Amino acid sequence: MSRTAMCFAPLLFSGAMYADVIITTDPNVAAQFQQGLTVVDFENLSGITPQTIASYTSGAPVSSSALLFTLPPNSQQPDVEMTAGGMVGVNGAVVYKLSGGIAGDAHSATNVLGAEVSSVDDPSQLVTGFDSGAQIEMFFPKDVSKVGFWLNPSLGNVEVLAETTNFAFSHDPNEVILDSQNPLNPGEFIGISDATADIGVLKSSASATRVSPSTISAMVEPAPAPLPLPSRLFSSWPEAEYSG
């Protein structure tokens, strides 16, 4: 299973890199990064019924009640919008509840954020995605200065991109890559911060070195940009966490 992404404009690399990027497996270092931020663990999300899985098997039908498109859920003015690399508002990220032998893979309680893909046999059917075509994209309507998350210790390496925007969400073709980390290893925490609040998008996908992507667990709520906000035009993974 795979999904073809349509690109409307070339991605440009910014000359400036982040002031601070941490990659660690030490919970104490991650906790220090998260100080003063709100950690989202994907537990008790209003209107969301997590999909319980006991293995990382691709191709199982995904329940629409497990799809997460915004944080807070179903918000008209969300802090975060997300997709699993498909159509905004159609291909949401999935809240998975890890059970059995994989329950310990979550850095949160048991819920993690993961990907879905369209079924090859029936493109209208969304199915679990733990193969190389899986990805998660997060869009911050108000640019943030700090974001991070944990990667699943039992899945593959991932590539993470921090960008200024994403056309699918903002209709702004000027997508600039601010930072790229590839590969990140299973079980690592990545935290990206900058003195200037210019992070508009975070993408996580399977690294070219591995066929199995990761999931996001225990994310930290992103730190919003200081006012006044820049003028911008807006429109409406297996396990990981985000920090912001």
Please report the DSSP string for 27-49 in residue order: HHHHHHHHTTSEEE-S-S-TT--
In a domain, 62, yes or no: yes
Residue 212 has pLDDT above 50, yes or no: no
Q: What is the pLDDT of residue 175?
A: 80
Indicate the SS3 state at residue 136: strand
Q: How many domains are there within the chain?
A: 1
2 found inside a domain: no
Q: What is the pLDDT of residue 236?
A: 21
Q: What mean pLDDT, rounded, does the chain reach?
A: 76
Residue 7 lies inside a defined structural domain of this protein: no
Phi, psi (5° rounding) for residue 32?
A: -65, -40
pLDDT at 87 over 70: yes
Given a cut of 60, whether residue 4 has pLDDT beyond it is no
pLDDT for position 218: 59
* pLDDT (average), residues 18-35: 85
pTM above 0.85, yes or no: no
Q: What is the mean pLDDT of residues 224-231?
A: 30
What Cα–Cα distance (Å) separates residue 144 from each residue in 14, 124, 139, 141, 194?
A: 17, 34, 10, 9, 9
Residue 8 lies in a domain: no
The verdict on residue 1 lying in a domain is no
Per-residue pLDDT at 203 = 82
Q: What percent of the chain has pLDDT over 70?
A: 76
State how far the Cα of 65 lies from the Cα of 151, in Å rounded to an integer.
24
Measured at the alpha carbon of residue 200, what is the angle toward residues 70 and 29, in degrees to the nearest 5? 90
Supply the pLDDT for residue 198: 85
Distances (CA, A) of 200 to 3, 120, 142, 172, 222: 23, 31, 7, 11, 10
Task: Examine the pLDDT at 207 and tell me if it is beyond 60.
Answer: no
Query: Where is pLDDT greater, at 147 or 54?
Result: 54
Q: Is 71 inside a domain boundary?
A: yes
Residue 5 forms part of a structural domain = no
Domain of 80?
14-242
172 belongs to a structural domain: yes
Query: 209: pLDDT confidence band, cut at 50, 70 and 90?
Result: very low
Confidence (pLDDT) at 188 = 92
